[in-house]
Amino acid sequence: MELNDNQKLGKKVKAINTSVLDFSSKVVGVFRVPTFREGLLVVTCFFFLITLLQIKLFPRTLDVKVGQASKMDIYAPRAVVNPEATRLVQQEAIDRALQIAKLDPEYYRIDESVNNLVRFNLNRAFELLDAAHARYLSESKPVTKEDLPVIKFQKYFYEPPSFSLLKGIVELNDADYRELKEKTHLILEEIELKNRISVEKVAETKLKVPDLILRHKISTQIAPLVQDLAAISIRPNLVLDSAKLAKLEQQVRAGVPEVIHRKNELLIAKNQVVTENDLQMLKELRLIVDESSRIKVFLSLAFFVLFLTGLGLVYIFQFHPDLLREERLLYLLLLLLLLVVGLIKVLSLTEIPSLPYLAPVSFAAMLAAILIKRELGLALTAVVSLLGGIIVEYNLALTIFYFVSGAIAVFTLFNFNRQRDLVRSGSILSVANLVTVAALNLLFRSSFNYESVLLAVANGFLSAVLAIGSLPFMEHLFKITTPIRLLELANPSNPLLRRLQIEAPGTYHHSIMVGNLAEAAAQGIGADTLWVRVGSYYHDIGKIKRPYFFVENQFSSDNPHEKLNPSLSTLIITYHVKDGVEIAKEHGLPDKLIDIIEQHHGTDLVRYFYQRATENLQGEREILIEEDFRYEGPKPQTKEAALVMLADSVEAAVKALSKPTPSKVEGLIEKIIRERLDDGQFDECNLTLKDLNHIKNSFIKILGGMFHSRVEYPETVLKEMERKKDNAGSDQ
């Protein structure tokens, strides 16, 4: 019975182990799925950025209340504006400016209502005078003071009228009286509307009345009366211009610097009574934050980072989907993002406010542009700039600096193919950083910050140095080939090319010619010229293992293939592709270069040996399988591989012509391209018929120059040249 229990227990344990193993294998299987790994990486990056943004965003909350004494000394963790002190300083400056403005006529304007008042008062005065004048005409007796009490007229004039003036007006004949009324109105309206009359300038304005009397041709009988009546009616017509004063107030307020408490400056001393202004500053510094505010800020930042992440993914899906197929490139992009954002955060936590200007955003932009794509270098710069500005206390100036600096770094690497290009980029970047930060200082700061300018200049050189130092490491870690690496591979002193020169010199020369052909055609079809050249140099390195089985290395009349079966010869010829891939992997050549080596013959037919095998058929019973005489492939997957295939075939075929002529060369090139096209060798790459036509024309142009015919000298000319040569030798 005990044995049975043990058996049952053993079965249960075995079943549990099996379940655990199945679960583990499923988990491991999930992690092996590229899309899952990429998604997990993006999510991890998302939470890392949120965490990074939250660090030190909310310091320890203080327990202070308005009207109560502070229990401790409170220092500013960062610079903060004192709103009340700023308001008082600004108001004091505004009051001084307004006092000065009140003494300046420029801040006054003509009040048109004064002219209306003058006209209204004059009409009221003439109503009284009209009545007195009518009585005078009807009664024909002298006017007395009782008839014209001056006190009734005083309220209608700026200066009190005299009895003699009023008496003189009333005792005019009817025609003169009407003229006086009309001309006085005209003169006063012209004076009030066209002259800026202050209190001090009333007397000066009166002096203009005689000229107006002459201009309006007023009769001499009433001229003195008009002059006196107009003089006592003139009023100051200037009032303060509220629009100008408001503008002045705005200018003064903008010109007064804010009262700022610097980082680590004492804000509130121990036992000091806390004011509403103090509380406002503490809230601005987030030293007092309620839970709802914390949640709001956290959610806002989370949403912002989520938005940036989503925008970045949409951008990659839309414009760079190949990045999702190349996991290592996505890893590199996210690594650069997290590395630089982390550095910005570290620099922002120091006691030096300007130190974030040293953050090497341009370094990340350079590496992204060189190792991935220039467009992604710009996209990375934009994301880092936004996050960096948030990290450093929502600093707009720093955001602009990061973006401008990173963008310039990308643009200066438009033709990167050697390390000195990085040095040049760093020099340009330092100058650009100097100009950018100087401009931002003038735009955003009340005083010029030389420290930030010096750090920005150093940033340019630092970014270039970091890029130069880390580029080889990044190339190796992420298996990325840069133009520098390709130029190293194209150098004839490269060990593998040196070996090809020594062990298979004919193949080496053939490869150089193939490189010239392919490179000439590459740019016109949108292929990478550098990759095409290097691919051409290395496409036949597999021939190193058995060089004398290839015609270009057979310097004697012996051809080993004459003694071999066509099938065996085909196997030897086609195996140079596998040998090339093997040698390339042993020497650590880039994957794309290995692909060109592997694809440069595609699944093409070895026509010469297939034809020999066909001729050697001894009976109908023998079956010749064409596939046995084809390369294993794969077919070219890129324009570069297809171009190397065509250049390889054309160069070898044209060289085999006994008497090449332009027409023969052109016909042969067209034949080879047509054969490869009909054979479906370009079905898996994006070559178009237009591309093939460009390749054909380019090959014809290059080979026409390489295989041009020479002038044949007549025999008599040759003998004469030989005789002259002999005579020259005997003279010596």
Q: What is the pLDDT of residue 420?
A: 84
**C-beta of residue 385 within 8 angstroms of C-beta of residue 397:** no
Please indicate, yes or no, whether residues 302 and 449 belong to a single structural domain of this protein. Answer: yes
User: Dmax over Cα atoms in the chain, in whole Å?
Assistant: 163
CATH of the domain at 662: 1.10.3210
Q: What is the pLDDT of residue 695?
A: 95
**C-beta of residue 604 within 8 angstroms of C-beta of residue 676:** yes
Please indicate, yes or no, whether residues 537 and 648 belong to a single structural domain of this protein. Answer: yes
Last residue of a domain, one of 193, 213, 236: 236
Please indicate, yes or no, whether residues 313 and 372 belong to a single structural domain of this protein. Answer: yes
The span from the CA of 424 to the CA of 440, in Å, is 24
558, 561, 564, 570 alpha-carbon torsion, rounded to 10°: 170
In a domain, 64, yes or no: no
The span from the CA of 398 to the CA of 448, in Å, is 15
Please indicate, yes or no, whether residues 463 and 520 belong to a single structural domain of this protein. Answer: no
In a domain, 657, yes or no: yes
In a domain, 713, yes or no: no
What DSSP designation does 630 have? B
- Give the residue numbers spanning the domain of 436: 291-480
Please indicate, yes or no, whether residues 432 and 519 belong to a single structural domain of this protein. Answer: no
In a domain, 82, yes or no: no
Please indicate, yes or no, whether residues 347 and 424 belong to a single structural domain of this protein. Answer: yes
CATH of the domain at 380: 1.10.1760
Please indicate, yes or no, whether residues 543 and 660 belong to a single structural domain of this protein. Answer: yes
β-strands 74-75, 108-110 pairing: unpaired
Q: What is the pLDDT of residue 540?
A: 94
The whole-model pTM stands at: 0.60
Please indicate, yes or no, whether residues 434 and 581 belong to a single structural domain of this protein. Answer: no
Please indicate, yes or no, whether residues 435 and 531 belong to a single structural domain of this protein. Answer: no
Q: Which residues, given as ranges, of the chain have pLDDT below 50?
A: 1-2, 20-21, 23-33, 717-718, 728-732
The span from the CA of 146 to the CA of 689, in Å, is 119
Q: What is the pLDDT of residue 25?
A: 46
β-strands 266-268, 74-75 pairing: antiparallel
Q: What is the pLDDT of residue 411?
A: 93
Number of structural domains (the chain) is 3
Q: How many CB atoms lie within 10 A of CB 610?
A: 18
Q: b or e along 519-543 (b: 16 or more beta carbons within 10 Å of the residue's beta carbon)?
A: bbbbeebebbebbbbbbbbbbbbbb
In a domain, 255, yes or no: no
Which of 488, 544, 486, 484 is CA-nearest to residue 511? 544
In a domain, 83, yes or no: no
Last residue of a domain, one of 191, 212, 236: 236
Q: What is the pLDDT of residue 23?
A: 43
In a domain, 249, yes or no: no
Owner of token pair 């026409």: 704
Please indicate, yes or no, whether residues 307 and 455 belong to a single structural domain of this protein. Answer: yes
DSSP bridge pairs for 273: 69
Please indicate, yes or no, whether residues 521 and 462 belong to a single structural domain of this protein. Answer: no
Peptide bond connecting 634 to the previous residue in cis, omega within 30 degrees of 0: yes
In a domain, 498, yes or no: no
Please indicate, yes or no, whether residues 227 and 342 belong to a single structural domain of this protein. Answer: no
